[in-house]
Amino acid sequence: MKQLVECVPNFSEGRDLVKIKQITDAIEAVDGITLLDSDPGKDTNRTVVTFVGSVASVEEAAFQGIAKAAEVIDMGSHSGAHARLGATDVCPFIPVSGVTVKDCVDLSHRVAKRVGDELKIPVYLYEDSAQKDDRKSLPVVRAGEYEGLAKKLKDPNWKPDYGPAKFNAKSGATVMGSREFLIAYNINLNTKDQRLASDIAFELREKGRSKRIPNPDSPNLLDGEIVRDEQGKAVKIPGLFKDVKGVGWYIDEFKRAQISINFNNYKISTIHDVFDKACELAVERGIRVTGSELVGLISKEALLMAGRHYLKKQRRTTAVPEADIIECAVQSLGLNDLYPFRSAEKIVEFAVGQTSGQLMGLTSEGFVDELSSNSPAPGGGSVAALAGSLGAALVSMV
């Protein structure tokens, strides 16, 4: 099995395309690296980069990307809608094939040590790489953001895992570690009201919200009075979906508010269930979901799960080619709402070349699936050639 690690660093630059290209060029210059995606956001002022390669290649490419970001990004003048801690805000390593979680944990330690030693950037380890339980969660580690980092570094409880406990004004700090495949996903609303997006996000996310008494004059629970306990602390109620993180924001580029969601485990809380519930909650508040957006890549399985879900709701068979199931998911989730959704670029298995679009590269199952579709090829000639080959093989066997 081919050894493959995915790395998805988030860089705090989403507007200057020259700087972004300098960073991705540094990553691509490493032998054995395939750059799968570079997704900049103007309002978040953040770019999510995705690349894959062997453990050794990813180790070098991650360092080179972080080093270039430290060179071209000045956090002292950075602003954006997304929470961030440094020039390279977070750098996760994800096992894809032929590698284990432990391999990626060890990889994160090596890169973190080099970043700390050579670039003098404080590094915190999170998720599977965390050396303390209270550092597993990215939002916890990132609390206070860049603006609160100088104070944070003076606290002995927040001594970085690698690098100096000294404020690096230009580069900030970096969070790094091994984690499972994460899906970054935004749900689009037909409103500019960020508070409505936040209200829905708080209902969906596992962390939940403060309990409130509904305001009869407003559909937004944020307008209700907070319920407090005997000590005066806000009573908290959990959200609807486990392993889901969410916030609401307004993106001027799209002239609309979005519910920004991270799926830490799409098998426990599925994209389609969260999307459907968001649609329901939006209608209750007098607004509508218009579609959704993927940031970075998604696994094929997540879209197949969604496609089968919507086909069943339509009382249609799921015994159709995978391409048709995926197309049903794309249409049902409104993934074309902001710009065209390109499966070859956004589905990780397609992007790394594990699925070939050429007839000669198809498996027997893939050939039959393609034959059953409405595509012009394969046709009679291809079927005749296959039948002839099978006949010749049978004669040879006898």
Query: CA 106 to CA 108: how far, in whole Å?
Result: 5
Virtual torsion, Cα 82, 83, 88, 91, nearest 10 deg: -100
Q: At a CB cut-off of 8 Å and minimum separation 6, what does 63 contact?
A: 111, 114, 115
Query: CA 118 to CA 60: how far, in whole Å?
Result: 13
**236 beta partners:** 210
Query: CA 23 to CA 47: how far, in whole Å?
Result: 10
Hey, is 186 helix, strand or coil?
strand
Q: What is the DSSP string of 248-263?
A: EEEETTTTEEEEEEEE
Q: At a CB cut-off of 8 Å and minimum separation 6, what does 358 contact?
A: none
Q: Catalytic amino acids?
A: 82
**Identity of the residue numbered 159:** K
**Identity of the residue numbered 195:** R
**Identity of the residue numbered 84:** R
Q: At a CB cut-off of 8 Å and minimum separation 6, what does 214 contact?
A: 221, 224
Structure tokens at 292: 């959704």
| 285 closest CA partner among 211, 185, 228, 202 | 202
Query: CA 154 to CA 165: how far, in whole Å?
Result: 7
83, 138 contact by CB (below 8 A): no
- First-residue to last-residue Cα distance in the chain: 34
The phi-psi region of residue 380 (left if phi > 0; otherwise alpha if psi is between -120 and 50; otherwise beta) is alpha
Please report the sign of the dihedral spanned by the C-alpha atoms of residue 78, residue 147, residue 108, residue 139: negative
